[in-house]
Amino acid sequence: MRIERIELRLLRLPLVRFFETSFGRVYDRTFLLVTIEEDGAPGYGECVADHNPFYSYETTVTAWHIIREFIAPVALGRAFEHPRDLFGALRAIRGHNMAKAAVEMAAWDLFARQAGVPLSRALGGTRTAIESGVSIGIQDTLDELVERVEAELEAGYRRIKIKIKPGWDVEAVERIRARLDGIPLMVDANAAYALDDAPHLARLDRFDLMMIEQPLDYDDIADHARLQQQIRTPICLDESIHSVRLAEEAIARSACRIINIKPGRLGGHQQSIRVHDLAAERGIPVWHGGMLESGIGRAHNIHLSTLPNFSLPGDVAASRRYYAPDLIDPEIVVRPDGTITVPEGPGIGVHVVADRIAAATLERVELT
């Protein structure tokens, strides 16, 4: 493929409902949309970098800068045999995985469209439907939390994840368990604790949680290994796993028993497949994380989730939980059995609504 044109847009969409993590509460989502083109055929990629550098150091502004000044010249400069070659071609750029991923994923979409196959097939996926879970943010009250958990179970979701932070953890889980014993339940701390909190986190052990996601700092594999020796609940790493090498290190040091895969964090589909394969080899289950994506990024996530070692429900939920309307039509729906059907058309296989994108656009640039 030869990428002839890259369009970069900065978009803002209001969230259907606020989302609160240990980083704070948000009411809307700002992100970049990358559209690439060859012979008039498009490829779409969503950059999951946020307005602020809280989840990762990347922001919409750094991603814009890195794509425009450094990634686009490489991507536009030569023909690629396969989208899997793009990440390696960007090696000289250190980090900035979210910026790289947006362009790489757009290239995969274009590649699959040109081949006339669904992206899932191009990625090596095998499923026709994926299992959906939900991530429920911190609420104003524990009563509201329990209500939301019940509503999502009612909608069919196959596992519930709640966000935790100091002051909103053991009691929150206790309240849910008191009412809904036995449901598949997990927690995500987004790095809100320190190793000294181990005795406190061990109080979660009696609730039979599927896992605790990223309890400690984003760059701390050593302390996660120490923590895992002090708690029974399996640790899952999200923020800490930026590369195949870090995944290997975390597994080797027993810093986690499960890995959350987000292509934005890892630099795209190719690196995600490599972490997926490595984890499979080492007997570590993976699941697909979410970054409050619009339907475009969400469609990518669905396709990647069709690989066989995505053996736990992901944070890949229905459009209506996030954006109404979504940027795609029809929107992504979760069936009453808690699964999402994988789109069958070429590429990401969803129809992108141009005027909704135009309406949400704050800035736009075209690179050739």
Show Cβ contacts of residue 81 under 8 Å, excluding neighbours closer than 6 positions.
1
Closer CB to Mg ion, residue 188 or residue 220?
Answer: 188
Answer for the pair 360, 12: CB distance below 8 angstroms, yes or no.
yes
Among 58, 169, 220, 238, binds Mg ion (CB under 5 A): 238
Shortest Å distance, C-beta 90 to Mg ion: 25
- DSSP three-state, residue 37: strand
Residue 268 site contact among Mg ion, ligand OSB, none (CB < 5 to 8 Å, cut-off depends on kind): none
As given in the structure block, the two tokens for residue 344 are 């069958």
The secondary element (H helix, E strand) that includes residue 228 is: helix 221-230
Residue 290 site contact among Mg ion, ligand OSB, none (CB < 5 to 8 Å, cut-off depends on kind): ligand OSB
Tell me if residue 161 is catalytic.
no
Residue 43 site contact among Mg ion, ligand OSB, none (CB < 5 to 8 Å, cut-off depends on kind): none
What is the longest distance spanned by two Cα atoms in the chain?
60
- DSSP three-state, residue 82: coil
State yes or no: residue 50 binds Mg ion (CB under 5 A).
no
As given in the structure block, the two tokens for residue 201 are 């986190």
- First-to-final CA distance of the chain: 15
Shortest Å distance, C-beta 103 to ligand OSB: 21
What is the pairing mode between strands 339-341 and 286-288? unpaired
Catalytic residue among 100, 161, 163, 165: 163
Closer CB to ligand OSB, residue 290 or residue 338?
Answer: 290
Closer CB to ligand OSB, residue 52 or residue 311?
Answer: 52
Query: Which neighbouring-strand residues pair with 163?
Result: 188
Closer CB to ligand OSB, residue 289 or residue 346?
Answer: 289
Answer for the pair 228, 254: CB distance below 8 angstroms, yes or no.
yes
Residue 315 site contact among ligand OSB, Mg ion, none (CB < 5 to 8 Å, cut-off depends on kind): ligand OSB
State yes or no: residue 188 binds Mg ion (CB under 5 A).
yes
| 12-20, 46-54, 187-195, 219-227 -> range binding Mg ion (CB under 5 A) | 187-195
Nearest to ligand OSB by Cβ — which residue? 290
Shortest Å distance, C-beta 239 to Mg ion: 7
Residues within the interface to ligand OSB (CB under 6 A): 55, 135, 188, 190, 238, 289-292, 315, 317
Shortest Å distance, C-beta 318 to ligand OSB: 10
The secondary element (H helix, E strand) that includes residue 99 is: helix 97-115
Distance, CA of 249 to CA of 241 (rounded, Å)? 9
Q: Give the torsion sign (CA, 197, 20, 302, 45).
A: negative
Tell me if residue 163 is catalytic.
yes
Closer CB to ligand OSB, residue 46 or residue 238?
Answer: 238
Shortest Å distance, C-beta 279 to Mg ion: 16
Catalytic residue among 100, 161, 165, 262: 262
Answer for the pair 281, 252: CB distance below 8 angstroms, yes or no.
no
Which residue is listed with tokens 């339907």? 295
Report how many helices (DSSP H) and strands (DSSP E) the chain contains, helices first. Answer: 14, 13
Shortest Å distance, C-beta 304 to ligand OSB: 14
In the DSSP assignment, the letter for residue 133 is: -
State yes or no: residue 293 binds Mg ion (CB under 5 A).
no
Residue 317 site contact among ligand OSB, Mg ion, none (CB < 5 to 8 Å, cut-off depends on kind): ligand OSB
Active-site annotation, residues: 163, 262
Interface positions with Mg ion (CB under 5 A): 188, 213, 238
